Every structure is written in C-alpha cells, then in structure tokens.
Chains A and B, each alone.
Chain A
C-alpha cells in the first residue's frame, strides 16, 4: 500500500523560517566576530561619541551664558536629594525597628522538613 503524504505548506514555511533564522544568525555571528567588524563598529561609535561630547560642551557654555543650570548642576542637586532620601530612609528604618512587632500576625514557623524521598 502506498504511503500517504501530508502536504503542509505552512509547516514547510515554519521549517524554512527556522532554517533561515539559524543560517542568518550563523553568518552574521561569523561576520561580527571579525577584526574588520570590530574596527568599523568602533569607528562609527567613536564618531558618535565625539559628536555627543562636542554638542554637550557647546550646550553647557550656552546654558552658562543664559544663566541657566546645566546638566551637571542638576546632577549635583539630584545627588544632594538622593543623600537626603537615604538619610530619611535610615531614620524611618530605625523608627520601625524601635516599634514592637504587631502581635496579631504570627510569623510562620521555620521548622519545615524536606519531603521524604
């Protein structure tokens, strides 16, 4: 008796998608593992970083000229607020520790044993 063939075009498409994904990842990983890729990637990154630095410096000068706070000034304020928040958290924590634990909710016993194997 001849065997029946289950023709499933979408199944084939799904298999092909998996193969395409593996193939492309493999080829791309080989390319990205080369010295040339690394060099090119960092040339582009370096250019971007230089531009960002220049824009940042120009912006800071402009803000200073307009008597406006720069990013650095805001970071300094944020740092001070952060320290105040941490101090408040420490005070709050110390206050909570000084209060007696609520008696209405008993803690679970720490006596559990592993199930017998």
Chain B
C-alpha cells in the first residue's frame, strides 16, 4: 500500500496557474471596466401609454400570437426603477411573462417634481394605481386584470385592492411586501419618534432626496459595498459576473426621491403607528381593511431579505380575506428573488403557474 503526500502538489500547481491567468485577465479587463459603458437595461420593447405626475405606464409589446385573456399590471416600488424586473434578455421577469403569453403592463415611477412634494399614499394607491388599472382595461378591452406588486408596489396594490375590490381585479400577486413595520427594526429605530423630526425634514427638503433613500438601504448592510468591490476585483476575469454586478449595482444606486407627503405618512402611520398591520390605516378617507381582498392571492417572500425582513411580511397572508391564498418562501434576498438565478429557477415559474390557470 503506497502512502501519498498529505498535500496535493499537482493540484496546487494547477490552481496557481489558473490564478495567474485570472490575474492577467483581471488587469486587462479591469481597464475595460472603467472605459466601457454600463450594460443596457430595460430592453424588452414597450410603449409608454400614460404619463401623469410621477407615474409612467408602459405596455410591453406582445410576442406571442395567442395571449391569456387577463392582462397583468406590474406595480413597481416607489423607491426604485422598474428595470430590476427587466434587466437583460434572459434575466428579465417581464420578458419571461411576455414569452409565456401574458399581456404585460408596468406602472413605474419617476422622481416627483418639487411641486409634487405633497403627493401622499392616497395619490399613489388611490389615484395612480386606479388610473393605470383603468388604462389597462381600456387598452385591452378586458374588464378583468391581475395586479403584481413589488415591495412598496405590493403595499400600494394591497391598499388599492382593499379599497376598490370591485374594479375588475382577478388575481393579486405581491413580492416581499411589508405589512408589520415594527419588524423592520432598523428602519423603525432610525425613524424613532423620540429623536426623528419628520416634519422638519419634509419642510426642508420638500421631496426626500434619493441619496437619503439610497444611504438608508446601504446602511442595512454596511460591509456589503466593500465586500462587493473585492468580489468584483476577484471576478473581474468573468464577463458574466461583471455584467451582472454592474446591472445590480446601477439599479441599487438608482434610487428615486420620495414625495415629502408620502414619506411623512409612511413614517407616521406605518413606521410609528403600524396601522396597516392593525387594519387601522385610512387612506384618502377610505379605511384599508385587508380582509376585503378576496381574489386569489399569492405572496412571494425572501428568506434572507434584509430590507423587508421575514417578520414584516409574515402577517400579510393572515390579514388578506381571500379563500385561495398562498405564500411561497424562497431562498435569497430582497432583490435576488425577483431578478437573480433563484428567481429564474423558482420564482418566475411559480408566478407563471399561479397566474396561467387563473387568467383565462
């Protein structure tokens, strides 16, 4: 019986050679990284069908000869751009839905103008979302529609659906939608009413600048930026990694300003008083009782979501009054469940299965 060396010398030599090649590629591609333009995002062909204040409603051009009867309206989060759901061909949730035969619309947001600083939850949930829903119904000739909301877009969709349950809503799908704001512990602590003068901030800024929104998200994982830069350097030889890094990095830094009125209301009524979870929220004079949502309901949440932790999303399923309701907990974080590899493998097919049989 022969004894072998405890250390695999051949393996180390091969590894060393591989790392040397990568080091050379890092140097060459690193130069290209700083001189090349950012990868294009949001490439699925679309038409703008409504622009009103900060709302933009897009219709994605169908590619299939036969569509499901019920169109899908995606409602994007108010703090970020919609292209996270349409990053690049093959990495686009929108493209996936279009190719699966859905007629897809997206309601996304622009930064509010200075004179729009008083827009609040009622404007977003009970003016812009209903306007978009009515536009989708007019454009398709269908009275039914499915709504699919992401993060705060999910919250707006739930408020709309609870206040107007009789406006043709057929299915409601939400991703990582917060409802119990006491469980968003860091945000709640930073907005502690003993120390945080929200009125002064709103009066000074009018609209809350995107830098504050972006920094507050960044502060949740303070080491992530540096670790991300080191991983980028480590993977500079890998074109796919670099492209993906640039797209996600661009998106996370591309935060939107929030209207002061909206920010004040979210701080006071949700972060301070947790009214949505208590079914005590009143928006535009309408009580928001989530029990009035009775359509088939799907909530997709992320197990390792650091922005909207699991505790903040968990009560939603119990509060919604639908007989057919389902929650899917996926591995991944706030963004990766919508646009990462896990999304492609698990989240997108789950949504497709849920909607397809309910969209005829």
Residues of A within 8 A of B197 (CB): 42, 46, 49
Chain B residue nearest in CB terms to A76: B115
**Cα separation A34 to B195 with both chains bound (whole Å):** 12
A103 interface hit (Cβ, 8 Å): no
**Cα separation A49 to B206 with both chains bound (whole Å):** 12
**Cα separation A29 to B357 with both chains bound (whole Å):** 43
CB of B227 within 8 A of CB of A20, answer yes
State which of B66, B115, B221 has its C-beta within 8 Å of the C-beta of A78.
Answer: B115
B2 interface hit (Cβ, 8 Å): yes
Mask of A26-52 contacts with B, CB within 8 angstroms, 1/0: 001100111101110111011001001
Contact stretch, chosen from B3-11, B171-179, B337-345? B3-11
CB of B200 within 8 A of CB of A46, answer yes
Residues of B within 8 A of A86 (CB): 52-53
CB of B223 within 8 A of CB of A5, answer no
**Cα separation A35 to B188 with both chains bound (whole Å):** 11
Shortest A86–chain B CB gap in Å is 6
Given A38-B190, A49-B200, A86-B52, the answer on whether A78 and B7 have CB atoms closer than 8 Å is: no
Interface residues of B in 56-72 (CB under 8 A from A): 62, 64-69
Residues of A within 8 A of B101 (CB): 112
**Cα separation A114 to B142 with both chains bound (whole Å):** 18
Interface size of B in residues (CB-CB distance below 8 Å): 56
Residues of B within 8 A of A7 (CB): 7-8, 12
A98 interface hit (Cβ, 8 Å): no
Q: A-side binding surface: helix, strand, loop or mixed?
A: helix
**Cα separation A33 to B309 with both chains bound (whole Å):** 15
Given A28-B223, A109-B67, the answer on whether A3 and B15 have CB atoms closer than 8 Å is: no
Shortest A63–chain B CB gap in Å is 16
CB of A25 within 8 A of CB of B8, answer no
CB of A4 within 8 A of CB of B11, answer yes
Shortest A114–chain B CB gap in Å is 4
The 8 closest A-B pairs by CB, nearest first: A79-B115, A114-B356, A24-B223, A42-B195, A4-B8, A21-B227, A75-B114, A110-B69
Known pairs A32-B190, A75-B115 / 12 extra A-B pairs, C-beta < 8 Å:
A4-B7, A6-B11, A10-B234, A21-B227, A24-B222, A28-B223, A37-B189, A42-B197, A46-B200, A71-B114, A108-B66, A113-B360
Between A and B, 8 residue pairs with Cβ closer than 8 Å are A6-B11, A7-B8, A7-B12, A17-B227, A21-B227, A49-B200, A78-B114, A110-B140
A interface residues (Cβ-Cβ under 8 A, vs B): 1-8, 10, 14, 17-18, 20-21, 24-25, 28-29, 32-35, 37-39, 41-43, 45-46, 49, 52-53, 56, 71, 75-76, 78-79, 82, 86, 89, 108-115
